[in-house]
């Protein structure tokens, strides 16, 4: 479960502020986060993941208060507990598909790379239809294939929380459905909590809950409103 | 650490052209000044070793460097010629052993060194095939000459004319190879040694021709009286000295006036050396006496100051290249900011991410150092041989 209490966040001295008095996302649910561009959807994901820290308030992710952790511990917590998928895939061009999938195991000693992990990475890639492209570099893959590699990378450490930031934003309709299926299937099969930022309202029916970030964003002093999650 | 190095390796091998350029630049930055230093040190050592082993050289007044280079290394234009009486002068002074040197001619690209038997003993040169010089017109060849010309005892080498237009002077002399010297890794390996009188024959100061007193030579005799016989142009001149015709070879004029290029003087002690040097200090003195080691040190001093300039230049270029390499690394980090952010976002530890970036730089630097070290080692091993080969070209 993710619980946010009395959270306030702003970038420097800018006018944008995110104010979340209270928000709760149940474990093992699929939640969509919607809202206009610049309203703070990605910021909310970053806060939940501990990538950025709020000026005020608490974020408890699966019983861990991420706001109280040191930077290094937040990173270790994130790499073990949270899988992240980005709109731009963010694959490393100089690594092969297999190396990209296993990347989390090479950049933090909290995860240990062994033959079992390697076998799991290969079987995951096969399951996602990219098993024959393990030796290729991302530059030689289609958009849909790249995003599948990014999803494999996010789920390989078997995270209990999957945060995906517009994972289908750059995909054609066929790949959009396929990638969303993969993400939702993983979440359901592994009892993971899923929060997905999306602009695509056609996809909302596939989620258990929808958060409208407009409820929390404040542009300019005194212009904001306060709100909470909207169950569907 | 293994994972960090793996990622660094993947990055470097994927960007192999960039990596190669950086590697070559860094290798050259490190190697150029060090390699140059090793090369100069070796050359200096080699040049001074032979010079240090030669106590004194007497020669006609002129360039001391030319005199030393010609006498020790059989290179450069031949120095001012002096008379053979200068050899006798050293001997008569009873202060040193005198070894005549006449290094002027060559045969098929190899210098002909006219000298005496003492030279071989003094330089510690042994015959490994054949025998020592036995008669006028014979030669012994250095090991590299034997190899290059593919000659051995019983074969012949022919002296080269100095000029095709010099019809009256130097003419080719066919010299029989008596023996081959052992390899000494010095200039002696590239030389053809003959008795100094043989060089005079090459120069035309001595010659051999058919005996005009014999009845069969009557047809080439123009006039004959009790003291003189005048032959015609049809008199047969020999261009090879054999046991059959050696008796006909003779020198005209005063032998003491015949030419030599230098005298190597071997005084038995410091005192004799000092006394001998004192005898050549007069203002009207036609000859000079030099200590080869001093001449070579002066030359090396010039080379070393040139080397200092080259080293300074290499250091400046190196610093500029290093600054460029640093800029390349910084720009590369800037270009990879998004990648670094991704690594941070998915949970990469600060240490691991920083290690990946620094490992790449360290790997390139280390590879550069190792390559430069290897090149320096090779320079140390083969540099002097390469220089000698280059000099011989």
In the prediction, which pLDDT does B369 show? 93
Instruction: Show the tokens assigned to A128.
Output: 């996602």
In the prediction, which pLDDT does B147 show? 93
**Helix then strand then coil, % of chain B, to nearest 5:** 55, 20, 25
Q: Does residue B151 surpass a pLDDT of 80? A: yes
Of A16-20, A67-71, B306-310, the one with minimum mean pLDDT is B306-310
DSSP string across A57-119: EEEEETTEEGGGS-HHHHHHHHHHHEEEE-TT----TTS-HHHHHTTHHHH-TTS---HHHHH
Per CB-CB distance under 8 Å, the chain B contacts of A43 are none
Report pTM: 0.64
CB atoms within 10 A of CB A222: 5
A38-78 pLDDT, tens digit each: 888 888 899 999 999 898 999 998 888 989 999 999 999 99
| Cα-based torsion angle of the residue sequence A195, A187, A122, A145 in order, rounded to the nearest 10 degrees | -50
* Closest residue on chain B to A164 (Cα): B346
Residue A20's closest CA among A153, A216, A166, A191? Answer: A216
**Mutate which of A71, A87, A96, A108 to disrupt the B interface (most B C-beta within 10 Å)?**
A108
Backbone angles phi, psi at A64, to 5 degrees: -115, 125
Cross-chain CB nearest to A113 (options B3, B10, B352): B3
Cα–Cα distance list, B255 to A139, B196, B276, B287 (Å): 89, 11, 24, 18
A134-180 pLDDT, tens digit each: 999 999 998 889 988 999 999 999 999 999 998 888 778 877 888 88
With cut-offs at 50, 70 and 90, classify the pLDDT of residue A31: very high
Place of tokens 């000029």: B163
Place of tokens 């393990």: A134
CB atoms within 10 A of CB B195: 21
A83-121 pLDDT, tens digit each: 998 888 889 999 999 999 999 999 988 889 999 999 999
The percentage of chain B sitting over the pLDDT mark of 90, rounded to a whole number, equals 34
Instruction: Show the tokens assigned to B184.
Output: 């000494």
Instruction: Show the tokens assigned to B303.
Output: 């080379």
Q: How many CB pairs under 8 A join A and B?
A: 74
* Closest residue on chain B to A106 (Cα): B3
Q: Does residue B169 surpass a pLDDT of 70? A: no
In the prediction, which pLDDT does A118 show? 94
Instruction: Show the tokens assigned to B221.
Output: 């005799």
CB within 8 Å: B348 and A79:
yes
Helix or strand run (H / E) with residue B22:
helix B16-52
CB within 8 Å: A71 and B15:
no
Average confidence (pLDDT) over B338-367: 89
In the prediction, which pLDDT does A230 show? 35
Per CB-CB distance under 8 Å, the chain B contacts of A78 are 346-347
Q: Distance between CA B355 and CA B362 in Å, rounded?
A: 10
DSSP string across B56-112: EEEEESS-HHHHHHHHHHS-SS----EETHHHHHHHHHTSSEEEEEEEEEEETTEEE
In the prediction, which pLDDT does A60 show? 92
**Mutate which of B337, B345, B347, B349 to disrupt the A interface (most A C-beta within 10 Å)?**
B347
| Cα-based torsion angle of the residue sequence B361, A117, A108, A51 in order, rounded to the nearest 10 degrees | 120
Is residue A1 a contact partner of residue A24, using CB atoms and an 8 Å limit?
yes
CB atoms within 10 A of CB B259: 18
Average confidence (pLDDT) over B269-280: 90
B79-110 pLDDT, tens digit each: 888 999 999 999 998 899 999 999 998 888 89
In the prediction, which pLDDT does A121 show? 93
With cut-offs at 50, 70 and 90, classify the pLDDT of residue A218: low
In the prediction, which pLDDT does A229 show? 41
Per CB-CB distance under 8 Å, the chain A contacts of B353 are 107
* Closest residue on chain A to B356 (Cα): A107
Q: Name the B residues in 139-178 with CB < 8 Å from any A CB.
A: none
Is residue A206 a contact partner of residue A30, using CB atoms and an 8 Å limit?
yes
In the prediction, which pLDDT does B254 show? 82
Q: Between B250 and B190, where is the model more confident?
A: B190
């Amino acid at each position: 479960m993710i619980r946010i209490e009395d959270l306030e966040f702003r970038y420097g001295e800018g006018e944008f502020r995110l104010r979340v008095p209270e928000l709760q996302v149940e474990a093992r649910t699929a939640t969509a986060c919607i809202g206009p561009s610049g309203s703070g959807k990605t910021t909310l994901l970053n806060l939940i993941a501990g990538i950025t820290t709020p000026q005020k308030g608490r974020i408890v992710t699966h019983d861990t208060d991420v706001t109280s952790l040191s930077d290094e511990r937040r990173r270790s917590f994130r790499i073990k507990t949270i899988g992240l998928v980005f709109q731009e895939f963010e694959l490393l061009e100089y690594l092969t598909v297999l190396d990209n999938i296993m990347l989390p195991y090479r950049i933090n000693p909290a995860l240990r790379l062994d033959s079992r992990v390697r076998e799991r990475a290969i079987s995951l890639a096969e399951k996602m239809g990219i098993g024959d492209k393990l030796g290729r570099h991302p530059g030689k893959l289609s958009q849909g294939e790249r995003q599948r590699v990014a999803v494999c990378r996010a789920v390989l450490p078997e995270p209990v929380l999957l945060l995906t930031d517009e994972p289908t934003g750059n995909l054609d309709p066929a790949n959009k459905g396929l990638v969303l299926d993969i993400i939702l299937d993983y979440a359901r099969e592994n009892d993971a909590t899923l929060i997905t930022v999306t602009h695509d309202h056609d996809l909302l029916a596939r989620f258990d809950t929808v958060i409208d970030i407009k409820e929390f964003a404040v542009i300019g002093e005194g212009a904001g409103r306060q709100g909470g999650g909207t169950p569907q | 650490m293994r994972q960090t190095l793996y990622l660094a390796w993947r990055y470097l091998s994927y960007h192999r052209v960039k990596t190669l350029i950086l590697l070559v630049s860094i290798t050259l930055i490190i190697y150029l000044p060090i390699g140059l230093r090793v090369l100069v040190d070796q050359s200096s050592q080699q040049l001074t070793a032979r010079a240090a082993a030669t106590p004194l050289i007497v020669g006609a007044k002129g360039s001391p460097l030319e005199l030393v280079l010609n006498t020790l290394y059989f290179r450069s234009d031949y120095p001012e010629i002096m008379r053979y009486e200068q050899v006798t002068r050293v001997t008569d002074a009873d202060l040193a052993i005198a070894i005549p040197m006449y290094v002027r001619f060559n045969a098929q690209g190899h210098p002909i060194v006219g000298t005496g038997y003492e030279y071989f003993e003094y330089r510690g040169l042994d015959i490994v095939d054949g025998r020592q010089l036995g008669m006028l017109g014979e030669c012994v060849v250095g090991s590299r000459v034997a190899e290059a010309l593919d000659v051995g005892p019983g074969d012949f080498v022919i002296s080269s004319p100095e000029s095709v237009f010099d019809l009256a002077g130097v003419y080719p002399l066919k010299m029989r190879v008596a023996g081959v010297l052992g390899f000494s890794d010095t200039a002696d390996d590239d030389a053809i040694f003959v008795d100094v009188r043989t060089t005079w024959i090459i120069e035309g100061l001595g010659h051999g021709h058919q005996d005009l007193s014999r009845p069969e030579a009557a047809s080439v005799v123009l006039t004959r009286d009790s003291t003189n016989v005048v032959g015609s142009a049809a008199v047969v001149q020999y261009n090879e000295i054999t046991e059959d015709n050696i008796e006909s070879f003779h020198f005209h004029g005063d032998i003491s006036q015949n030419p030599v290029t230098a005298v190597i003087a071997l005084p038995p002690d410091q005192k004799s050396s000092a006394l001998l040097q004192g005898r050549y200090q007069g203002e009207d003195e036609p000859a000079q006496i030099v200590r080869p080691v001093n001449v070579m040190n002066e030359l090396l001093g010039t080379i070393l100051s040139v080397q200092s300039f080259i080293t300074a230049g290499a250091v400046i270029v190196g610093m500029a290249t290093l600054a460029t390499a640093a800029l390349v690394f910084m720009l590369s980090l800037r270009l990879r900011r998004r990648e670094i952010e991704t690594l941070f976002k998915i949970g990469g530890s600060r240490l691991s991410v920083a290690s990946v970036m620094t490992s790449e730089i360290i790997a390139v630097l280390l590879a550069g150092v190792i390559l430069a070290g290897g090149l320096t080692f090779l320079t140390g091993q083969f540099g002097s041989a390469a220089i000698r080969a280059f000099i011989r070209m």
